[in-house]
Structure 1
C-alpha cells in the first residue's frame, strides 16, 4: 500500500515534510459545531479502509483544481488489486489528457491525440465483467473470479449527487452497543507492482483464450467438470494454491442492508448539514464525463514512476496516492482515532445515502503508528494530513475532499452501486493469474519448447521495455526510459539483430548484434539508417519496416563489443540484455528436463497474443528457487504447438517488458564484430 512517501510530497511549498505531515492536505473545518469523534464514529472511521479493500471495485469521478483550470478524471478503482483506470480530461489536463492506469508506485499513460479530446463515451460508470471463460483446466477455478456483488440494476441507481439532508436524525436508524462487531482483519494477498497479476495481455478486449476442448492440447483443453464457485479441482488433477491476486470481495464489515448499519447512529444526532467547503463545486465532479474504454488499448502506453524524482509532484500523482491510501487490509485502531484530532463535521447526503462527514487521517495506521514502544500521534499532520470523508452507516466511503497542494482542491465521488471490472494493461501485469504446478502434459509441452523453436529457424521480434536509464548504452536521463525495438533472432545461426530507441529520443536508435557470447552495439541517427529491405506495412502485430534495423548493417569502427558479463551493473543484467540473451537461448536441439519442469514450472493463466491462443507459464531460474509462485521475473507465452509467442520480464521499474515473436523465415543476419 502507498504510504507517506508519495503523499508527503503533497506539502510542496508549505514547509512540511514527512515529519510534519500533509499540511496542504488539510481542509479547514468551517463548522463551529465540529466535535471529537464518538466511539461509534471512531469505529466506523477505523473500518473505512478495510471496507474499501474488501469491497474491491467502485466507479469514481473527481475534479482537481480550481474552476477554469480543473482536471477531471472518470473511471474506476480496484482496491483489491491496487489498480486505478481513468480517463483524464478538463481544461487543466494539458499533457495529462488521455488514458491513465496506476498500480503501486507506477503510472502508465496513453496520451490523447493532439487534435482533441479522447472519444466521448457514455457518462455512466463502466459496468462490465470479463465476458470470457479463463478457467484453469487443472484447477477447475476461474482466474480472478469474484462472487456476484448483488448490485442493483442500473435503472435503480441513485444519481451521483443528492440534495443535502435537512431532516434531523436521518443518518442511521440502527443503534450499536459498546463492543459492536467491527471488520475482521484480513491478511493481504501477495502483491507486486501491477497487482500480482504479471503477464501482459494482448487479446482483443483484454480477454483470455478459452481453448479448444476438441484438440486435447494442454494449451487449449478446457475441463467439462469444475466448480468455479468453490475452486474444487478437476478430478484427477492437482489442487491449486491460493490465487495470487485473490482479495475477498465480501460485503463490508457488519453490513445489514438498507435498514441501517451496525455502527449505530452518530453521537450528537440530530446534527447539522455540513457546509459546502471551498473548492470545486460538487456538480463539476459528477457531471457527464468521458469513461475509459472497457478494454484498454494495448499499444501507445508509457510508464513512469509515481511521484517523480524531484521535489514537486504533479496533482494527478497526489490524487492517485490519496485514492490508494483509502484502502488497507486491516482496520485502524478506533481508540487512536478517538484520541486524535479527527472530528465529526456534520451530516450530508452522498451517493443516495445519508452520511456523516468526518475529518480523519490521509493514510492508514500502518503508515503513522510506530508501534507500542512509541507514543501514538494525535495530530493529523503526523498521520499523513487531514481529509474529509463522507461515510455511511456501514463504513462505506462515498466522497473525499482534500487539498493536494496550494490551490489544488480535490473532490472525489465514489459510485458504490457499480463494480466495474478493471483490466491492467500489459505494462502493469495484464489479466489476473492463478499460479499452480504444471500438469504432466504441460511439462511435456515446455520440454519441447527449445526444439520446437529451433525447427522454425528464427523469428521477427518486437520489443516494449520500460526500464531505468543505462547511460553507457542508451540515451536518456529520466527516471524511466520507455524503449521500443524490433529485429530478428536466428536460432540456426545463434544470433540476433535489433534496433532499439527511446520514445523520448525518436531520432536516435541503438543497433544491437548479439550472440551467446556478447553484444556489439552502436548508435545511429534514424535518417542515416533508412531501411533498404522494403516498406511492408505492419500486419498481425509484426513490426513495420521503419522499425526494423537496416540491412546491410553498417560496417565501420563505431561498433563497440562487450561480453555479457561486462554489460552488468551492481543490480545484475540490464533489462534489455536479459530479454535478448534469454530469447537467444530458446532455440536448441536439446529437450528440457521433464522431471525438473514438473517440480519448478508454474502455470499462470490463458491469454491471447497477436491472435494466437497461448498459455502463460513461469520457469523460475535456479536463483529464484525460493521465490513464491507468480513472482519470478520471466514469463513464457507458449501456443498449443509449443512455440514461444511472447517473452515477458519484470523490469527494474516494477513494470513488465514484452518481447513478441513471430516465428518464420528471417533474413541473413550480419555477423557480430568483436573488436
Structure 2
C-alpha cells in the first residue's frame, strides 16, 4: 500500500489536473522548482531514451489515467494522415477558387438564379417602359448590330419627345453607312464620311450644316431598322402587360436591375432580354431585328444632351409664338422688298428622295418673274437646266462635265423645250419664291425662333401657311426660303441678297 501524496501549503509537489473527456493529460506542474529526480524517474527517462515504453506504475494517488500514460503515442502514421488531409483540403479550395473566377461575370449579381414567370409588378414595369422613356425625353445610346467583322456600331443620342435620332456610325461592318446619321420617324438623312475613324465616337453636338442626303430606310435591317427600334422605345401610353420571365438580377451602370424576357413592341424579336430598374427605366436590351440580325442597345440614362436637328429636319425647335407687331410688319413688307431687289443669286439644297438629292445654283428674277438654275443630282451625277415661271417649268439635260453654274446666255434647247406645271418639290419651292413678290403671306404666321446665318447675320424664322418658312433679318431682307416636303424634310433656297442677278435669269425671262 502506497503512501498518500502530500501537498504542501504552497502547492509544492505534483498536482493532479482534471482530465477532459476523451483526452489524456500530462501531470500539471507548479511554478516551484522541480523536485530532485527519484530512482524510478531516472529509470523511466532512461527507458524512453532507449526507445522502450516504460512500465506503467501506479501513481501515489492511485489514478494512473491522470498523467496520460495510457494515451497512444503520436507515431509517424498519424502525422502523415493529418498532412495528407491538409493537402487535400488546400487542393479543393484552390480548385473552387479557380472555377469561381472562370465563371464570374462583372456586374452579375444573381447568376445562379432560376428563371421564373414575371410577377405582376415586373410585368407592369415592362408595360410602362416606353412611357418612362418619353417622360425622360432623351438618353445616350450605343447600338451594336451584328457580330465579328460584320459588326456595325452606332453611338449618339435618341430624343423620344421630338422624336429624333442622332448617331455616329462605325465598326468593321459599317461600309457605306460610315459617317453621321440624323433621322425622324418619317425621314433618314446621312452624311457619309468614308475617311472617318473605324471606332465611332459621340457626334458633335452642333451637326455640320452641309453634305446631308436622304437615305432609303430599308425595312427590317440596316440604319432604318435601328432608327425604328430607337424611336419605337418611346410611347405616350402604357403597353398591355405581357407574359414573360424573370431571368436574374444584375447591375447596369451601377444601378440594380432585373433582367426580364418579355415582348417589346418596336423589336422584331418576340423574346428580347431587357435590363429594367425599379423605376421602369430601360438600361439595356438584347435581341434580334426583323431580319434576325443580333442587336444590343445600351442606354446611358444620365447622358441627356440636347440634340440639334439639321436644317433639313427643321433645325432647332426654339419657342414658337405669334409675331410681334414689328415682326408682322416685316412679313407684310416682304413683296415690296423682293420687287425692290429685282433679282438675286440663289443656291438650292433639296434632298427630295434617296434617288433625288438635288443641288442647284442660279438666279431668281422677281421683276420678270422667272428663275434659271443648273441642277445636279448627287450620286448619279445627272445634270439638267431648269427655267421656271409662275406655274410653268421647262427642263433639258446637260453634260455631266459642265460647270456647276448655268451658262449664259440661255441655251436655245431650253428656250424651245415645252413647259409644264411644277413636277417636284424643287419646282414648288421655286414657284413659291416667285409668287412671294405678288402678295404678302396670308393666314396666321408663327415666329419659330431666332437663328444665325454664317455665324454673322441674325434672322427671325417665320413659318407661314403652306409649309413655308422665311428667314428675314431685322431690316426685313430675305435670306432663305424653306419648303416642307411630304417626308417632313425641309428643302431650302438661299438668297444672296444685295447682289445683282446674273444675265442668265434676265435672258431667260425676255426670251419668253
Superposition TM-score, scaled by structure 1 size: 0.56
Q: CA deviation at 1:435?
A: 2.9
Unaligned runs of 5+ in 1: 1-29, 121-287, 365-379, 469-478, 531-545, 569-573, 622-632
Alignment map for 1:462-473 (pairs within 5 Å)? 462-468=347-353
Match of 1:576 among 426, 435, 446: 426
Q: Which has the higher helix share?
A: 2
- Kept in 2: contact 1:66–1:407 (CA 8 A): no
Aligned residue number for residue 407 of structure 2: 550
Cα deviations by residue, 1:595-637 (Å, 9 ceiling, x for unpaired): xx6x61221111122332111112215xxxxxxxxxxx11111
Change (3 A) 1:559 1:362: farther
CA shift digits 1:475-501 (9 cap, x unpaired): xxxx54211111101122312111112
| Greater RCO (CA < 8 Å, at least 6 residues apart) | 1
Residue 645 of structure 1 and its aligned partner are, at CA, apart by 1.0
> 1:520 aligns to what?
394
Contact 1:58 1:414 in 2 (8 A): yes
CA distance in 1, matches of 2:282, 2:209: 32
Residues 502-560 of structure 1 deviation map (CA, whole Å, 9 limit, x = unaligned): 11221x31111122352221111132xx3xxxxxxxxxxxxxxx422112222137842
Q: Is the 8 A contact 1:315 1:404 kept in 2?
A: no
Q: What's 1:351 paired with? A: 253
- SS of residue paired to 1:421: coil
Aligned equivalent of 2:91: none
2:416, 2:238 → 1: CA distance?
59
Q: What is the aligned counterpart of 1:306 among 217, 226, 247?
A: 217
> Does residue 293 of structure 2 align to residue 418 of structure 1?
no
Contact 1:519 1:672 in 2 (8 A): no
- 1:652 corresponding residue in structure 2: 486
One of 476, 496, 500 as aligned partner of 1:665: 500
1:27-66 superposed matches below 5 A: 33-66=114-147
- Secondary structure of 1:451's aligned partner: helix
Correspondence for 2:181 among 100, 113, 116? 100
Q: Distance in 2 between matches of 1:634 and 1:109?
A: 24
2:272 corresponds to: 387
Q: Distance in 2 between matches of 1:672 and 1:640?
A: 31
- Residue 642 (str. 1) matches residue 476 (str. 2): yes
Cα deviation, 1:353-375, whole Å, max 9, x if unaligned, reads: 111011122217xxxxxxxxxxx
**Superposition TM-score, scaled by structure 2 size:** 0.73
**Aligned equivalent of 2:419:** 562
Instruction: Say whether 1:360 aligns with 2:194.
Output: no
Stretches of structure 2 that go unaligned for 5 or more consecutive residues are 1-110
- Cα distance in 1 between the residues matched to 2:414 and 2:365: 24
Residues 1:587 and 2:437 aligned together: yes
Q: SS where residue 547 of structure 1 aligns?
A: coil
Root mean square deviation of aligned Cα: 2.5
Match of 2:210, SS state, is coil
Partner Cα distance (1:437, 1:46) in 2: 39
Maintained 8 Å contact 1:615/1:639: yes
Indicate how the Cα distance of structure 1 residues 600 and 406 shifts in structure 2: closer, same or farther if over 3 A, else same. closer
Q: How does 1:327-342 map to 2 (within 5 A)?
A: 327-334=234-241, 337=242, 340=243, 342=244
Paired position in structure 2 for 1:7: none
Q: CA deviation at 1:31?
A: 9.2
Cross-structure match for 1:317? 224
Matches within 5 A, 1:151-162: none
Q: Deviations over 1:432-490 (max 9, x none)?
A: 0433222211111111111112222211111111224xxxxxxxxxx542111111011
What CA distance in whole angstroms lies between the structure 2 residues aligned with 1:454 and 1:513? 19
Aligned residue number for residue 22 of structure 2: none
| Separation in 1, partners of 2:186, 2:263 | 21
1:489 to 354, 364, 370: 364
- Is 1:447–2:349 an aligned residue pair? no
Which secondary structure state, in structure 2, belongs to the residue aligned with residue 419 of structure 1?
Answer: coil
**Equivalent residues of 2:415, 2:511 under 8 A apart:** no
Question: Could you tell me whether the CA contact under 8 Å between 1:520 and 1:672 is conserved in 2?
Answer: no
State the distance in 2 between where 1:510 and 1:315 align.
32
Q: Distance in 1 between matches of 2:322 and 2:330?
A: 14
Identify the structure with the greater strand proportion. 2
Work out which of the residue numbers 500, 505, 511 in structure 1 matches 2:385: 511
**What count of residue pairs does the alignment treat as equivalent?**
398
In the alignment, the residues of structure 2 paired with residue 322 and residue 455 of structure 1 have an alpha-carbon distance, to the nearest angstrom, of 51
Alpha-carbon distance between aligned partners in 2 of 1:49 and 1:86, rounded to the nearest angstrom: 20
The alpha-carbon deviation at position 563 of structure 1 amounts to 4.1
Partner residue, 2:81: none
Show the counterpart of 1:606: 450
1:425 Cα shift? 0.9
Is 1:618 equivalent to 2:463 in the alignment?
yes
Q: Residues 56 and 557 of structure 1: is their aligned pair in 2 closer, same or farther, counting only changes over 3 Å?
A: closer
Find 2:196's aligned residue among 105, 113, 117: 117
Secondary structure in structure 2 of the residue aligned to 1:561:
coil
